[in-house]
Structure 1
Amino acid sequence: MPRTKGDHVAAIRHAWRRVAGTIVRTPVVAAGGALVKREDLQVCGSFKTRGAANFLFAAPPSQQCRGVVCASSGNTGRALATLNTTPTYVFVPADADESKIRRLLDCGARVVPAGGDFATVSAAAREFAAAHELLYCSSATIWDFIYGNATLGLELLQQCGRLDEIFVPIGGGGLAAGVGLALSLLPKVRRPALIGVELTVSCPVREHLAPSAGERATGESIADCMVGGLEAGAIILDLAAHALDDVVLVSDAQLLQAQEELAHLGVAVGPGPAAAFAGYRSRSARAPSVRSGIVVSGIR
C-alpha cells in the first residue's frame, strides 16, 4: 500500500490519465459568494464515478472477470454497474430508499439487501466477495478509488486558481481523503484549508479528531448517504489529522436551507450533496477577500 508523498503523486497522475476519457470536467460556477464545483453534472450524477472508474481500470482483467461487489446507498453501486461489463453486486441497507434501488436495478446492478448500519452492510459485502472470489470495491478503503476522487481536487485547483478554503461533505470519507491528497501536492503556503462537513447526528471523523467522554452522535437524517459509522479501514481516518483543517457539523434544517438556496441558483440536488454548501453557510464570518470552493458531490 503506497504511503509516501511520491507514491501518492504518481498514483494520482496515473488516475488522471485513466479516467480522462470516462469522466467529464464538471463546471465551476459562482453561487452564493463562493465557487461551486458541480459534480451533480458528472457521469452517473456523482463524484463516485471518478473513483469507480480508476478502481476498475486499475484492476487486472483476471480479477474483474467474475464480477464486482460493493456496499452502497446508491452512487458507488450505480457508477460501478454503469462502467463495469461483468456482474455488479450492490449490498444496500435494508431500509434503502426505493428510488435509489430502482436506479441501481436500471443500471443492471444485482441488489442485495443487508440489515444494519453501513458498517454492517460493508462487512456482509466483503464476506460475499471473499466467499465467491469476486473483486471487492470500497469507496472508503481502496486507494485506487481515493486516487480517482483526487482528480476532482486537481480539477478544482486548475479551474479556480487561488482558493483559501474548500468545503467537502464527509459520508464514507473517500471524497475528503481524495481532495486532501490532491491539496497535499501543493506547497503549504499555497494550500487552501480543507474543511469537512458532517452531520450533527453522525460525525465519526469529527469524533475521531476530537474524541470526547460523551456518547457518540447517533440519529437519523434526511441525508441518508451521510449517516452511519465509517467502514472498517476507512482511509480518511489515517489522513484526517493532516488532510483536514477542520470539520463543521450541520443539521437537517441547515441542509434543507442550503438545498433550497442552491435550487434558487439553478443547482437542483438532494440534501446530502448540499452539505458542503450548508457548511460554508454555517461559517458566515469571513473576510470579503476569502475565496471559497464548495463541492456539490452529486445529484442525490
Structure 2
Amino acid sequence: MTVIVRDLRPEAPGDTEGFARVRRLALPYILFTADSVRHNALHTHPDARYRPLVAEEDGEVTGTAQVLLAYDSDEPGQGLLNVYVRPDRTGRGAGGLLLRTAEEHLASIGATKVYSWVLDEPGNRAFAERHGYRAGRSAHFLRRDLAGAALPPLPPAPPGVELRAAAEFADDPRPLFELDAETLLDEPGEISYESRGYEDWLARVWHHPLLDRELSMAACADGRPVAFSLAYTDGDGRYSSAMTGTARAHRGRGLAKLAKLHSLHRARAAGVTEAFTGNDAGNDPMIAINQWLGYRIRATEVHYVRELS
C-alpha cells in the first residue's frame, strides 16, 4: 500500500472530516471537528504560513500534520509541528513522510528550529528522538466525567463581582480580548507569545466554530472582565477549556476558579458528558484548581525541539 502526503483541501469534506477523525483517535483530549479544521485552514493569520498536511493511503486520511510559524512570538524562526497518525495505521511510513515534508516546508519559510508536542509514550518518544528531537518541558491532559460525580456547589460571588457569559459581550467583545491578551503574556512554556491585535483575536478565538459563548464565563468587576474561562464544545457531548486566566491586579481571589466552576455547571446542565483541560506540568496552582474541580490527569505530552540546519 502506498502512502502519499499532500496539502489538506479545506473545501473537501473528506479531508476535513478525515483530519478531525485522525486527531480524535490519536489524541482524544483535544477537540477537533471538520468545521474547526476548515476554520483553522482558512483563518489562521497569514504570517503563520500555516500548512495543514494529510497522509493518505488508498484514498483514506490516515495521518495529519499541523505546520506553521510561531507568528505571535517575539523570537523569529520558530516552527511548530504536530504529527499524528491513526493508531491502527502506525508503522506504515505516514509519520516519517509527514515529518519530512513538514520540516522541508518550515526550512523553506525561514524556521531555524522546530517545536513539537509528543505524547509521553515509548513509541512516540523514540520516533521523535530518532529524528533528532530533544525533550523539553511537559504538560498534562486532564479529564472530568460530567455525567457522573457532582460538581462542587457554586459559592456566592465576592462583593462587587458578577459572573457573565461571553455571549453577553457579543456586541463588543473587546474587553474579553484585552483580558486574554494580558493573560497570554504569563502563559508558561518555552515559547513566549503575545497578542497580534484585535482582528487576529476575533478570527482566531471569537469566531472559532468550537467556541461556546454560552458556556464561556467571565468574572466582572465594575462591569469589566477580570477573570475568564473560555469553553470549546464539539456538539458530541465533549467540552474543553480553551483558556482560563485572571488579570494581574485581581489574582489571588479565586476568580478564575469561580469562572471555570460556573462554566462547568452550565456545561453539565446543557448535557455535556465529559470535560477536558490541559496544564503545563509546572503550573501547580492551576493543576490544584482543576483537581479540586474533579479533573484527573489522563495523559502527558512532552515538548520536543530540533534545530534545523
- Normalized against structure 2, the TM-score is what? 0.29
The structure richer in helix per residue is 1
Larger of the two Rg values belongs to structure: 2
